Amino acid sequence: MVSKIIKKILRLISLELAVCITVFVLITLSPIDPVQSYVGAGVAVSPEQRENIAEYWGLNSSLEDRFLSWGKSILKGDFGTSLIYRRPVISVIYEKFASSIALMGTAWILSSLIGYSLGIIMGVNQDKPLDRIIKSICILLSSTPTFWVGLLVLIVFSVNLGWFPIGLSVPSGILSSEVRLIDKIYHMILPALTLSLTSFAAVALHTREKVITVLESDYVLFAKARGESQMEIIQGHLIRNTIIPTITMQFASFSELFGGSVLVEQVFSYPGLGQAAVQAGLRSDIPLLLGIAIFSALFVFLGNFIADLVYGLVDPKIKEI
Amino acid sequence: MNGRIKLIFSIIATITIILIIALVGILMDEDVLKADFKIKNIEPCLEYPFGTDWMGRDMLARTVKGLSISIVIGLVASIVSAVMAVIIGTLAGTMPKWVDSILGWLIDLVMGIPHLVLLILISFAVGRGIKGVMIGIAVTHWTSLARLVRSEVLQIRNEFYIKLSKKLGKSNIYILKNHILPHLLPQFIIGLVLLFPHAILHEAAVTFLGFGLPPEVPAIGIILSESMKYLSAGKWHLALFPGLSLVAIVLLFEHIGSNIKKVLDPYNAQN
């Protein structure tokens, strides 16, 4: 078990290192001029100034040298300075990640609960009208673009009903120190709702399949023969045997969760990491883009790592190996 | 008429609908897409079922044009992705174990960076535009199909007829060409069709974020991101119908995929 965990940690480190190399190479491939993006579009730069800036940033040295010096500084925790925010990248990511985690966490818990319950309901009522209706809704939702659901939610709840503000995660015209927690929660409701709406379908359909497999098993047949009621079967056999695959799947889906949050943050102008990633890409803020790519990959890898761990800890069959 | 023939007819009908939408969009007269301020901001009515926007452009025409662009991009990107998946999956399944572990690691790597972040990076790397979307979607979507192909190949590799073929002195290339690849064809077709919805949705998403197609092209992502500015003015129809059409196209592809799956599944032959 312990050697397995160490192996997984080593794999995680090797993958994270490969992510660093990949994103670095992708950025250097870009035809977008780093000097021009640093001084801002439309600003004229004389050849001498350009040479000075390139010299200052070390753009004239070789690719390996640049990668090594970049690698050394990120190992020290120095990801450079964001061009948009004019602050160290690490502090921007820290702040934005906190609000993204609040959003993604809420949506993640909501979608797990809704998805799991619906999955059980569908599986128990297999091929009955209730199952068919919920299944169709799930298939429909999984074919629907997240950002469009966001737009519909905005139209209904903000424009027509006027219950929620149209954008921003805090009320406007107030100092950031005066923003109350309740305001933050209020502004997070719609984005979190949208994100969970578009992500519970996958959990529900996955759970449905598992439930059907369990219900067809010999031990459930035996339980029925013993005269256990449906409630007893659900509590004693169904939930015990289906909850771990669902939890594992939810931890392994951090990539989709992050992608969804990028779109939702854009629609609701929610100031999280996703919106920062889009801004960094559009305005060529290379240090910030690199930092976000590395941290978002770490987030996904940690999710997969936890999924493996949960699986190994809880399932006795896997623990033995 | 048995169930299989019905299914085949249903598949052909769905493909025809998609082809018609694509052709109408591709062959569309550019004049229809032009702005005409005399008819701006019309709510959906009989003459303009999807309404018109703030520049007097017919939203139905723009939506169909956008869908045809999405279909073409989705088609190219899915074919490239599916071919990559079969090549990589087959290599992982047939080559020595170390090749398999390297490819497994590569799959983990591509899956590790969230899709949208990777799409933004690739779009940045190739200088944005349609090329960025195509390459981005093609190189990010092969992973799960490759895993599927790999496990399929591993299974076939140990079948008796393959071992027999080897004992009869057939070369590896012969076995690959005559025994393994034909077996993978159904997986390839189903995988290809089911990749399509993902490709279209991701294309719309990156375009919506501003990394995909240029703003003058009426792609669905562009239409929806433009509509955001007019939502608070009550122009709900600018967002509702184009998005709904996109969902309809995605569902049509899901429909084809699940029907092809049923047709190719021998257990269904009797029903």
Q: What is the model's pLDDT at position A40?
A: 64
CB-based contacts of A76, cutoff 8 Å, min separation 6: none
pLDDT at A167 over 60: no
- Lowest mean pLDDT: which of A13-22, A187-196, A301-310, B24-33? B24-33
Read off the pLDDT of residues B197-240 as tens digits, 9 standing for 90 and up.
Answer: 888 888 888 888 888 788 778 888 888 888 877 777 777 777 78
Q: What amino acid is encoded at B154 in this protein?
A: L
List chain B residues with CB under 8 Å of A155.
231, 236, 239-240
> Is B245 inside a domain boundary?
yes
Residue A194 forms contact with B (CB below 8 Å): no
- Assess A90–B contact: CB distance below 8 Å, yes or no: no
Report the C-alpha gap between A250 and A202 in whole angstroms: 9
Residue A321: pLDDT band with limits 50, 70, 90: very low
CATH code for the domain of B148: 1.10.3720.10
Please answer yes or no on whether B240 and A152 come within 8 Å at the CB atom.
yes
Q: Tell me the C-alpha distance between A246 and A207, whole Å.
A: 6
> How close is the nearest chain A Cα to the Cα of B193, in Å?
14
Q: Which residue of B has its CA nearest to A26?
A: B125
From residue A99, alpha-carbon distances to A94, A105, A113, A164 in Å are 9, 10, 22, 18
Residue A153's φ and ψ, nearest 5 degrees, are -60, -40
Residues 225-254 (A) with a CB less than 8 A from some CB of B: 254
Q: Which residues of A touch B227 (CB under 8 A)?
A: 151
State pLDDT tens for residues B109-157: 888 888 888 998 888 888 777 888 888 888 888 888 888 888 888 888 8
CATH topology assigned to domain A99-282 = MetI-like fold (1.10.3720)
CB contact under 8 A, A145 and B201: yes
Tell me what the pLDDT averaged over chain A comes to: 82
**Structural domain contains residue B240:** yes
Is B8 inside a domain boundary? no
Q: Count contacts between A and B (CB, < 8 Å).
A: 151
C-alpha A297/C-alpha A21 separation (Å) is: 13
Give every CB contact of residue A260 below 8 A, 6+ residues apart in sequence.
Answer: A107, A146, A195, A198, A199
Question: At residue A109, does pLDDT exceed 90?
Answer: yes
Of the partner residues A18, A254, A277, the one whose CB lies closest to the CB of residue B120: A277
* Structural domain containing residue B170: 56-255
Within a domain: residue B267? Answer: no
A35 to chain B nearest CA, in Å? 15
pLDDT tens-digit series, residues A205-238: 989 988 888 888 888 888 888 888 888 888 888 8
Q: How far B248 CA lies from chain A's nearest CA (Å)?
A: 9
Instruction: Write down the domain spans for chain A.
Output: 99-282
B46 belongs to a structural domain: no
Q: Answer whether B138 touches A (CB < 8 Å).
A: no
Interface contact flag, A15 B109, Cβ < 8 Å:
yes
Of A64-68, A258-262, B152-156, the range with the highest mean pLDDT is A258-262
Q: What are phi and psi of A33, to 5 degrees?
A: -70, 120
Nearest Cα neighbor of A83 from A289, A318, A261 is A289
**Per-residue pLDDT tens digits for A277-301:** 988 888 888 888 888 988 999 999 9
Could you give the CA distance from residue B64 to residue B60 in angstroms, rounded to a whole number?
6
Q: For A25-44, what is each residue's pLDDT tens digit?
A: 888 877 776 666 666 656 66
Per-residue pLDDT at B80? 92
Pick from B106, B108, B113 the residue to mutate for testing the A interface (most A CBs within 10 Å): B113
Domain count, chain B: 1
Q: Which of A123, A150, A133 is nearest to A204 (CA)?
A: A123
Query: How many C-beta neighbours within 10 Å does residue A25 have?
Result: 12
Q: Which residues of B touch A159 (CB under 8 A)?
A: 231-232, 234, 236
Q: Is A289 on the interface with B (CB under 8 A)?
A: yes
| Burial of residue A299 (number of CB atoms within 10 Å: 0-12, 13-18, 19+) | buried
Contact A155 B113 (CB under 8 A): no
Q: Does B196 touch chain A (CB under 8 A)?
A: no
Rounded Cα distance, A216 and B157, in Å: 31
Q: What is the pLDDT of residues A181-209, one digit of tens each?
A: 777 777 788 888 899 988 888 899 989 98
Q: Is the minimum CB–CB distance between A21 and chain B shorter than 8 Å? A: no
**Chain A residue whose CA is closest to B114:** A255
Least Cα separation, residue B249 to chain A (angstroms): 9
Quick check: is B163 in a domain? Answer: yes
What is the model's pLDDT at position A269? 83
